[in-house]
Amino acid sequence: MNDCSKSIIDYSNNNHENILGNNIFQSISRPTLVGVEDVNGNVCFRITGKYLAEGSVDIWITKKDFLIYKIEIDNKVSDFRVKSTYQFFPYHIKGFNSNLFEFKPNRKVKL
């Protein structure tokens, strides 16, 4: 089996190891909805939780389309603490025509 045929989740063993590693949501324990806040003009849910062993994380997710707009991580590294802030600015296409991505089997497409 070559690497291209592996799935993201390896189901061959019982622990279902994630080949790509953990994402932010897999690293949070005890997530709690803190409230609703504005981030760059977007109304967002603020979720907080414990991050890895000795850290904390706050995530802001928009109410409208559930995109992540901001993440703050406070984590212990060796003998000191590291606080990281990530801000995301998703691009929204104005006048986007979703019909362009509609599944139409057996149609002829000019190349």
pLDDT in tens, 27-64: 788 889 999 999 989 999 999 999 877 889 999 999 98
107, part of any domain:
no
Q: How many domains does the chain have?
A: 1
User: Which residues form the domain of 68?
Assistant: 22-90
Arithmetic mean of pLDDT over the chain: 77
pLDDT in tens, 62-77: 998 888 999 999 988 8
pLDDT > 60? residue 16: no
8, part of any domain:
no
68, part of any domain:
yes
* pLDDT at residue 63, rounded to an integer: 92
38, part of any domain:
yes
What is the C-alpha to C-alpha distance for residues 74 and 81, in angstroms, rounded to an integer? 7
49, part of any domain:
yes
pTM of the model: 0.63
* pLDDT at residue 1, rounded to an integer: 39
64, part of any domain:
yes
Number of neighbouring beta carbons within 10 Å of residue 28 = 20
6, part of any domain:
no
